[in-house]
Amino acid sequence: MANEARLRTDPDDDPRRDPARAEPGAAPEGSPGDKRPAGWHGAAVPRPGRRTRRRRFSPLTRRILFLNSVALAILVVGLLYLDDYRRSLVAAEIAALTTQGKIIAAALGEAASDTGNSEAGIADRLAPEPARQILRRLVEATHTRARLFAVTGEIIADTRVLTGPGGVVQVAPLPPPTPPPDMLTAVVNAIYDVVVNWLPSRDVLPPYRENPEQRARDYPEVQAALAGDIASATRATGAGGDDHMVLAVAVPVQRFKQVLGVLMLTSGSGEIERNLRDVRFDILKVFVVALAITALISLYLAGTIARPIRRLALAADRVRGGQGLGVGRGRGETPAIPDMSQRGDEIGDLSAALIEMTQALWQRLDAIERFAADVAHEIKNPLTSLKSAVETAARVKDPVQQRRLMAIILEDVARLDRLIGDISNASRLDAELSRAEIEPVDLAALLQALVNVHATTARPGDPRVALDAGGNLVVPGLENRLGQVFRNLIANAVSFSPPDGTIRISALRRGATVETVIEDEGPGIPPDKLEAIFERFYSERPKGEKFGTHSGLGLSISRQIVLAHDGTISAENRHDAHGRVVGARFRIRLPVE
């Protein structure tokens, strides 16, 4: 009856391996009764969250276009601010008017002056009629307005007046006839005028006023010229357009150093404004071409940045939603994240990091799924035995059999408690390894402390532990977890060693690693189980050992800790000179840095 109660579930009797033997009520994966999505592997289905929005135009592309265009626009606006160029043109125009005025004034002083009689007190003066004729002929080809003032301040001649001074019919040059601009030209001109008027490059000029009866006192430059100096002035007409400035130069008309009058030449700024307009339009043409090239380069640049990032974001969103995971995820399949590592830039680094992160994530999920399945399977064994013992105890009336069944129940409960404790420790191990701070660990001191503990707690007949360690054996790691590894291996060696045997531990530096070897004198390991002993819940115990004493997680946890320290752990058998197995050997290599 006791044997019946201790029946252990056959490892092949696992619902995971045969869907037909699954628990009642469980529908096959993918069937209409299964509410899980297709391809479900046991991980929790993610809750709906923020999805990557599909946009017609990337905000990153807009920012790149805006920033590049703004930089170019600032440069062009700076070029359009042609204030120094305008001043140089104005200065050149005034210099030309001054030269022209000197020539005309010299001609008037020689040819249009009446010689007075100094004895009679009559001074030299300008003859009005000859002065008008000479003045009109000399300025006719220059399209410059000339006015001649007497020393008394009265105006003698004005090239804009058909008759004499005070005439009412004035002559003004008309612009050449031009066809009306088309719509595009009109729009461009309007935009140009708005931009140019917006530029803070205009000097504040005094307004130009012209009285019906002009006198020398109306123009400060003329008054300065009456004193014998050459003077100039720039005024604003207030009418806008091309001729929004009036440039004036006053030159004294002299004969033998005697001032006979003042010649005032005035010119509009139309030619200057047209030159400025032509230069600005040339700059704007270059700006349009440069803007088009900048836009194309920006789109290309944005395409090499925004589009790959968008692809990575969409792929990460699909991974988060459980889509596009490939077949057999975590087992070398093509990753769902696009591989851009060949770019050789930060986006390539991001792609490689996302691929590695995704692979690590799915490997972690696969490990959790496998761990959960193994835990369920291992817990089911003592539960089955416990259930069988409880059901049998309800039917047995013999007190002796009842006591035996109760002992079995207590053993199974203790086994469950021990198994759950080991599972809890194993489940917390991974999180602890990822969060803990790495510190230097002296393996020689650690091994010596473990040997001392074993010597202190050893019972009669227990094997002796001999340590051979020396030199610099410091490695980075977690001291308590590395101590757990060596405790597991020493305890494992003790359980397999014969009474009064010897367990040898050696540690030495080999290049960039520290190698630790633990050898026992036990029966060794089956050759086909040298890797299987590191699997979870696998237990290969000595004959005669009480069943259920070990959970089979010790070596699995040890390998997990060693791998977390970027090390390796392996098992092999020891042989004598005749090739017989004389014990087992565990070899651990840990990097120094």
Distance separating alpha carbons of residues 117 and 109, to the nearest angstrom: 17
Q: Is the pLDDT of residue 473 over 70?
A: yes
CATH 3.30.565.10 domain span(s) along the chain: 438-591
Q: Are 480 and 467 in contact (CB under 8 A)?
A: no
Band (pLDDT 50/70/90 cuts) for residue 249 is: very high
Are the beta carbons of 508 and 514 closer than 8 angstroms? Answer: yes
What local confidence, expressed as pLDDT, does residue 561 receive?
87
Question: How far is 107 from 135, CA to CA, in rounded Å?
Answer: 9
Please, is 434 exposed, middle or buried when counting C-beta atoms within 10 Å of its C-beta (0-12, 13-18, 19+)? exposed
For residue 149, is pLDDT > 50? yes
pLDDT at 586: 94
Least confident of 144-158, 221-235, 307-321, 482-496: 307-321
Which stretch of 146-160, 167-181, 569-583 has the lowest confidence by average pLDDT?
Answer: 167-181
pLDDT at 9 over 50: no
pLDDT band at 168 (very low <50, low <70, confident <90, very high): low
Note the pLDDT tens digit of each residue in 255-307.
Answer: 888 888 999 999 888 888 888 888 878 887 888 888 888 888 888 888 788 78
Region of residue 121 (phi > 0: left; psi between -120 and 50: alpha; otherwise: beta): left
Q: Which of 6, 1, 9 is nearest to 379 (CA)?
A: 9
Cα(439)–Cα(568) distance, integer angstroms = 19
With contact defined as beta carbons under 8 Å apart, do 149 and 155 qualify? yes
**3-class SS at 521?**
coil
- Nearest in space to 245 (alpha carbons), one of 203, 280, 213: 203
Range(s) of the chain covered by CATH 3.30.450.20: 81-116+123-173+180-268
How confident is the model over 344-375, as pLDDT tens digits? Answer: 788 888 888 888 888 877 777 777 777 777 67
* Nearest alpha-carbon partner for 368 in 422, 430, 323: 430
Long-range pairs of 396-405 with CB within 8 A, sequence gap ≥ 24 = 396/1, 401/1, 401/2, 404/1, 404/2, 405/1, 405/2, 405/5
User: Do 50 and 316 meet the contact criterion of CB atoms below 8 Å apart?
Assistant: no
Place of tokens 């019946």: 4
Instruction: Region of 9 please: left (phi>0), alpha (psi -120 to 50) or beta.
Output: beta
Q: Which residue has the higher pLDDT, 325 or 457?
A: 457
Phi then psi for residue 266, to 5 deg, are -130, 150
| Model confidence band, residue 199 (pLDDT cutoffs 50, 70, 90) | low
Prediction pTM value: 0.46
| Angle made by CA atoms 590, 592, 593, in degrees to the nearest 5 | 115
- In the chain, what are the helix, strand and coil shares in percent, each to the nearest 5? 50, 15, 35
Higher pLDDT, 128 or 446: 446
The CA distance from 254 to 106, in Å, is 7
Q: Of 72-86, 102-116, 569-583, which has the strongest mean pLDDT? A: 569-583
pLDDT in tens, 43-60: 444 444 445 555 566 777
Q: Are 463 and 520 in contact (CB under 8 A)?
A: yes
Q: What is the pLDDT of residue 420?
A: 78
Residue among 267, 231, 234, 275 at smallest CA distance from 86: 275
Q: Which fold has domain 81-116+123-173+180-268?
A: Beta-Lactamase (3.30.450)
Mean pLDDT score, 525-530: 86
The C-alpha atoms of residue 28 and residue 32 are separated, in whole angstroms, by 9
Summarised one tens digit per residue, pLDDT across range 374-431 is: 677 667 777 887 788 788 877 888 888 888 888 878 877 877 777 777 677 666 676 6
- pLDDT value at residue 568: 93
Spatial separation of the C-alpha atoms in residues 433 and 443, rounded to whole Å:
18
Inform me whether the pLDDT recorded for 487 exceeds 50: yes
**CB of 486 within 8 A of CB of 447?**
yes
Note the helical H segments in 238-345.
270-320
How sure is the predictor about 326, in pLDDT bands with cuts at 50, 70 and 90? Answer: very low
When mean pLDDT is compared over 176-185, 290-299, 313-322, the highest value belongs to 290-299
Architecture of domain 438-591: 2-Layer Sandwich (3.30)
Helices (H), ranges, 436-545:
443-457, 479-496
Chain centroid offset of residue 133 CA: 79
Q: Which pLDDT value is given to residue 518?
A: 93
Q: What is the DSSP letter of 333?
A: P
Q: Could you tell me if residue 335 is left (phi over 0), alpha (psi between -120 and 50 degrees) or otherwise beta?
A: beta
Q: Which residue has the higher pLDDT, 134 or 9?
A: 134
Vertex 504 angle, CA 498 and 506, to 5°: 165
Please tell me the distance from the alpha carbon of residue 357 to that of residue 370, in angstroms, as a whole number.
20
Residues 388-398: pLDDT tens digits?
878 887 788 88
Quick one: 435 exposed, middle or buried, by C-beta within 10 A (0-12, 13-18, 19+)?
exposed
